Amino acid sequence: MKHTKIVATIGPACTSLAILTAMLKAGMNLARINFSHGTHASNKKAIDTLKLAAKKLDMPIGIIQDLQGPRIRIGEIDKKGLELIKDEEIILYPEEHKYPKGKKVAKNGHKILPVDLPKLVKILKPGSQVMVHDGLIELKVLSVNATQVKAKVIKGGMLFSNKGVNLPGVDLKMPVITKKDIDDLKFGLKIGVDYVALSFVGSAKDIIDLKKLIKKFDPKSKVQIMAKIEREQAVKNIKAILKEVDAIMVARGDLGVEMNPEKVPIIQKEIVKLCLEVGKPVLVATQMLDSMIKSPRPTRAEVSDVANAVIDHTDAVMLSGETAFGQYPLEAVKMMSQIIEETEKSSYDDMSAGYFKERSLPVTKAISGSVFDLVKDTKAKAIVAATDSGYTAKMIARYRPDTKIIVLVNKPEILRQLTLVWGVYPEMMPVCKTMDELIVESIKLVKKEKLVKKGDEIVIVTGQPVGKSQNMNLIKVQTIE
């Protein structure tokens, strides 16, 4: 049983019930729906099929709605693509300034590149860097006038319509939550997604703004917010952002374009550790098994990348194009699961003594640390924790104990949200009114589900009074009879 969770992006390559069922069996724990693509109808169909597959297997599946955010893209160009050659000069223009349809070159003979950013000429200046197609193509601005931008090709390549554009270090003067995001958010809340991932977060204010919108559209919603860290500004503001969110995604694709790529591995490690310190789940994403989009096997470097994220103690790792539109979606999930399991067998992913250098601890964190020590001393086969909000589970998981963490919940939304948390395997249990009833029902359930066997020792963790959130204050060692 692996501890690190797998998030798979759903797309054209994996929308059938058969393939989604197989991916769940292979180790997928959550599904990411990228709202940069598809329609509300197609995304709903994918989510409905996912839920059907999960119901068929009697296992929970968490659903992440990934909002597009203020993404800039290349407009419509020739279907055959446009080749940009090193050192040549080209023209960039906002799509609102329309050139005659089908025109490929300007009067001066320069190639024309439309960009879907109305403020393009206002925010770029000579010397600005323009990165296109995940940084594979690099341009440098030479001059700007009222309608267009002249740029020099620093790194050339073949370019096609709708490829992403990044402007490192440039203030886009755009809201992080766009009109499209608002429409998509309303839809996501209506169909009951478990996490909303906000793209291009810059500060804690962006998260607060999203919270206000969620409260406005659905005051009773318990959806959790995930901040995608993909801008230098977000890295600088990470501690403030972390206070406001429920989870973090280290979105290394855009981050490696917005910043020098050699900085990203250390940033990944630092963000994972910050998340562990506060007990909030963290997801490492982008290009983890990228070659498996076209190949049935990954490169050795990609295998090491996934293993390294596990060793960093991330809660989850993510597949993007590998499952969304790749040729081997099921094989990618299987491979990621195998890498995780092999890495977790080693001592390299074990949390070192003194990992958390906290001088004083609140009761909940102190109890969590005691659980970790108790499991080691008793060689308990499982930790069984009852939780109302999921907080208890996250606090126990932050210590990365080397055993199952069986978490008993009575709310379906908490069950699904906990599929993101390292080592946690949530189960539904009826509401209990007393401590004794809770312990009896807990033991009954883990025996029924064959999660433990006769003679096993388990550590039971809960709180009193029963049913109160963030109230972990009781530990009991129990032998299964």
Task: Tell me the per-residue pLDDT of 50-87, one tens digit each, with 9 for 90 and over.
Answer: 999 999 999 999 999 999 999 898 988 888 888 999 99
Q: Are residues 89 and 54 in the same domain?
A: no
Instruction: Return the pLDDT at 67.
Output: 97
**CATH code: domain of residue 325:** 3.20.20.60
pLDDT band at 473 (very low <50, low <70, confident <90, very high): low
Report the run of H or E that residue 92 belongs to, with start and end.
strand 89-94
Instruction: Return the pLDDT at 230.
Output: 94
Q: Taking Cα atoms as reference points, which of 114, 109, 44, 25 lies closest to residue 76?
A: 114
Q: Are residues 240 and 194 in the same domain?
A: yes
Residue 352 included in any domain:
no
Q: Are residues 326 and 197 in the same domain?
A: yes
pLDDT band at 462 (very low <50, low <70, confident <90, very high): confident
Residue 353 included in any domain:
no
pLDDT digits (tens, 9 = 90+) for 358-371: 655 566 667 777 88
Q: Taking Cα atoms as reference points, which of 73, 113, 72 lies closest to residue 89?
A: 113
Q: Are residues 63 and 82 in the same domain?
A: no
428 CB-near residues (< 8 Å, 6+ apart): 408, 409, 410, 412, 415
Catalytic residue among 228, 365, 381, 394: 228
Domain count of the chain?
3
Catalytic residue among 32, 381, 394, 400: 32
Catalytic residue among 44, 51, 73, 186: 73
Report the run of H or E that residue 415 belongs to, with start and end.
helix 412-417
- Top pLDDT among 193 and 375 is at 193
Query: Does residue 466 surpass a pLDDT of 60?
Result: no
Residues 256 and 234: beta-carbon distance below 8 Å: no
Q: Which residues pair with 165 in a beta bridge?
A: 72, 132
Query: Does residue 341 surpass a pLDDT of 80?
Result: yes
Is 71 in the active site?
no
Instruction: Return the pLDDT at 429.
Output: 84
Is 73 in the active site?
yes
Query: Does residue 102 surpass a pLDDT of 70?
Result: no
Instruction: Return the pLDDT at 311.
Output: 97
Q: Are residues 109 and 49 in the same domain?
A: no
Query: Does residue 141 surpass a pLDDT of 80?
Result: yes
Residue 158 included in any domain:
yes
Residue 41 included in any domain:
yes
Q: Are residues 143 and 15 in the same domain?
A: no
C-alpha 291/C-alpha 305 separation (Å) is 13
- Top pLDDT among 257 and 99 is at 257
Residue 464 included in any domain:
yes
Q: Taking Cα atoms as reference points, which of 132, 138, 79, 82 lies closest to residue 112?
A: 82
Instruction: Return the pLDDT at 119.
Output: 87
Is 300 in the active site?
no
Instruction: Return the pLDDT at 453.
Output: 83
Final residue of a structural domain among 141, 166, 191: 166
Residues 283 and 7: beta-carbon distance below 8 Å: yes
Q: Is 10 left (phi over 0), alpha (psi -120 to 50) or beta?
A: beta
pLDDT band at 96 (very low <50, low <70, confident <90, very high): low
